[in-house]
Amino acid sequence: MLKLTFLGTGTSQGVPMIGCHCAVCHSADPRDKRLRSSAMIENNDTRVVIDAGPDFRYQMLRAGVDNIDAILLTHQHTDHIMGLDDVRAFNYFCRKSIVVCATEEVERVVRKNFDYAFEEKPYPGAPKITLQRIDTEPFTIGSMEIVPIRGRHFTLPVTGYRIGPIAYLTDFNHIESEELEKLKGVEVLVINALRHEPHISHFTLDEATEIARKVGATKSYFTHMSHQIGLHAEQEPQLPEGMFMAYDTLTIEIPSNK
């Protein structure tokens, strides 16, 4: 069984936003309360988390996670990496360094922002992180083969991931046709859909819907949504068949024989 858990489905500022008085930010529907975007994929013996933003600690506690095998980073923006310090708990209780998979450019920022973790003689209690350099080639974590999917976030390179029948793309606003080819046959596609209006560095809901149609997954879920996307209860019924708005804590299971 392959299991996908949405740890967070919001944007860099989350939903509700500080100081906002819109209907979405004041909604009582828990599906409208979105932590910074992150996901967890696990099978019988391997568990990986995609991105570790500022809400990472709470996301791990809320999901009852006591061990992970790796963190896969999509890019170097704050809302996707700044929770890495909290791997210290896994270091302590699991007595191991945590593997963090990143491209060269993302690794450079991680080393800069968390320089205290990579000193020759690190401060006692500093996070223990083992950086694993990735590029465009498939790689393996435990029993999972992971295929990087490259795209663009305005001018910034960003990496999505395919793990068997699941593909996870966030913070994309462009993807080349050869990268779309890598998504053929996925059963579950996760893709960012920031809002309805055009944005310089994110897919809109319509753009994400069009990509989902091209991929042709059995089910597509939208993530990294701002408060401008509208109320979950009003927006999801308007989506095409087989497409859904993800929400925090949503879990999806796919039998391993598929």
Gap between the Cα atoms of 89 and 198, Å rounded: 40
For residue 192, give both structure tokens.
Answer: 């960012």
Structural contact between residues 74 and 160, judged by C-beta atoms closer than 8 angstroms: yes
Gap between the Cα atoms of 177 and 193, Å rounded: 19
Structural contact between residues 83 and 8, judged by C-beta atoms closer than 8 angstroms: no
Global pTM value: 0.97
Which residue's entry shows tokens 């083969």?
Answer: 145
Q: Is 58 helix (H, G, I), strand (E, B) or coil?
A: helix
Looking at residue 166, its pLDDT comes to 98
Looking at residue 36, its pLDDT comes to 98
Q: Please choose, from the candidates 171, 231, 222, 241, the residue with its C-alpha nearest in 3D space to the C-alpha of residue 201.
A: 171
Gap between the Cα atoms of 164 and 186, Å rounded: 7
What confidence tens digit (pLDDT) does each residue in 22-75 have? 999 999 999 999 999 999 999 999 999 999 999 999 999 999 999 999 999 999
User: C-alpha angle 48/228/179, rounded to 5°?
Assistant: 45
CA 14 to each of CA 87, 145, 177: distance values in angstroms, whole numbers, following the listed order: 21, 31, 31
Gap between the Cα atoms of 245 and 223, Å rounded: 7
Structural contact between residues 245 and 236, judged by C-beta atoms closer than 8 angstroms: yes
What confidence tens digit (pLDDT) does each residue in 143-153 have? 999 999 999 99
Q: Spell out where 30-76 has E strands.
A: 38-42, 47-50, 70-72
Which parts of the chain sit beneath pLDDT 70?
Answer: 256-258
Gap between the Cα atoms of 18 and 231, Å rounded: 17
Q: Domain range holding 234?
A: 2-254
Gap between the Cα atoms of 98 and 211, Å rounded: 33
Q: How many domains does the chain have?
A: 1
Looking at residue 256, its pLDDT comes to 66
Give DSSP secondary structure letters for 174-219.
B--HHHHHTTTT-SEEEEE---SS--SSS--HHHHHHHHHHHT-SE
Looking at residue 255, its pLDDT comes to 84
Residue 78, domain CATH: 3.60.15.10
Looking at residue 258, its pLDDT comes to 43
